[in-house]
Amino acid sequence: MPEFISSGLSLAGLYRFPVKGLSAEALDFADLTPGEALPWDRAFAIENGPGRFDPLRPVHVPKSSFLTLMRHEDLATVASRFDPDTQTLTISRDGGDVASGCLATHAGRAIIAQFFAEYMKDSLRGPPRIVRAQGHVLSDMPQRCLHIVNLGSIADLERTVAIPIDPLRFRPNLILTGAPAWSELGWVGKSLRIGDVELEVIDRTARCAATDVNPATGRRDLDIPATLTRSRGHSDMGLYAIVKSAGRVRAGDGVKVA
């Protein structure tokens, strides 16, 4: 068993993204399972016209197959709410609901797809389609994993660009506080314990143009990959980790590193 060291770290935020490319949902807690992602995280995606994803034979496909912030910043100008009990997705804009449908049904998926067919019509390759495969995660990574960012590193990047940076630009599942800036990049191959859950860090996260989009405005107001490369010599911000033991994590939990 790894020897975990109390380090003053804690879990400042816990988030899921039920639909790839759409808005985050804050959670008070989550029950994690070994080898699985956060429940309902990236469970659905919006296919950008005819694509290669087959729900009956799901395999990892490039994110370019879907509507994502990397190329479609208008996604950040709508907000989404997902009810896991009914699998209902509600889309709102400017404070009002504009579409709602049960993603477990063909009719519900068609309602949401039709909204994006109109809203994103200038950037579509064909009719959009809401896709899901039971047990499959539509992440940028082929592994089922969690994404972690360190507020200390984000604060250091804020000093570089001289404006506040919303951590949700980086679409994290876990936001940690209390770690020195950039120290997390040395955790690859190490283990983390959050509450009763053990995680194994498997890789650093190379950032793409999705992080240039301000999640509050939908505008590309920064060039995060170029800024990181210029100031740090790499474009990495965050970590991927896989769940090694079952348990519940809660916002505010202490975090130990081994």
* Pair 31, 145 in one domain: yes
Domain final residue, candidates 76, 107, 131: 131
What pLDDT does residue 5 have? Answer: 64
Q: Are residues 186 and 155 in the same domain?
A: yes
- 216 and 244 fall within a common domain: yes
Report the alpha-carbon distance of residue 63 to residue 164 in Å, rounded.
27
Same domain? For 13 and 111 the reply is: no
> Residues 66, 121: one domain?
yes
Q: List, in order, residues 6 or more apart from 212 with CB less than 8 Å away.
A: 73, 220, 221, 222, 223, 224, 225
pLDDT one-digit tens code per residue, 38-86: 999 999 999 999 888 998 899 998 899 999 999 999 999 999 999 999 9
Quick one: what percent of the chain has pLDDT higher than 90? 89
pLDDT tens digits along 4-43:
666 789 999 999 999 999 999 999 999 999 999 999 999 9
Is residue 205 assigned to a domain?
Answer: yes
Q: What is the C-alpha separation between 215 and 185, in angstroms, rounded?
A: 24
Single residue among 131, 162, 190 that ends a domain in this structure:
131
Q: Domain containing 185 — which CATH number?
A: 2.40.33.20
Residue 92 lies in a domain: yes
My answer on whether 68 and 94 are in the same domain is yes
In a domain, 64, yes or no: yes
pLDDT of residue 1: 58
Give the mean model confidence (pLDDT) for residues 230-243.
97
In-domain check, residue 136: no
Domain with 52, as residue range(s), is 45-131
In a domain, 168, yes or no: yes
Provide the pLDDT confidence category of residue 3 given band limits of 50, 70 and 90: low
Residues 13, 80 within the same domain: no
> Does 88 share its domain with 155?
no
Tell me which of 131, 155, 184 is where a domain ends. Answer: 131
E strand spans, 17-154: 25-26, 29-32, 45-47, 79-83, 88-93, 96-102, 129-131, 146-150
Q: What angle do CA 204, 43, 203 make, to 5 degrees?
A: 10
Clarify whether residues 252 and 145 are in a common domain. yes
Q: Is residue 89 part of a domain?
A: yes
Return the higher-pLDDT residue of 2 and 198.
198
Q: Are residues 233 and 107 in the same domain?
A: no
Residue type, 193: R
Total domains in the chain come to: 2
Which tokens hold the place of 73? 């910043």
Q: Which helix (H) or strand (E) holds 206?
A: strand 197-206
Considering the domain architecture, whether residues 252 and 147 belong to the same structural domain is answered as: yes
Fill in the amino acid letter for 142.
Answer: P
How many whole angstroms separate alpha carbon 45 and alpha carbon 103?
11
CB 126 within 8 A of CB 50: yes
Amino acid identity of 135?
G
pTM above 0.85, yes or no: yes
Are 234 and 159 found together in one domain? yes
What's 40's DSSP letter?
Answer: T
Query: Can you count the helices (H) and strands (E) in the chain?
Result: 3, 15
Q: How far is residue 198's CA from residue 26's CA, in Å, rounded to a whole number?
A: 21
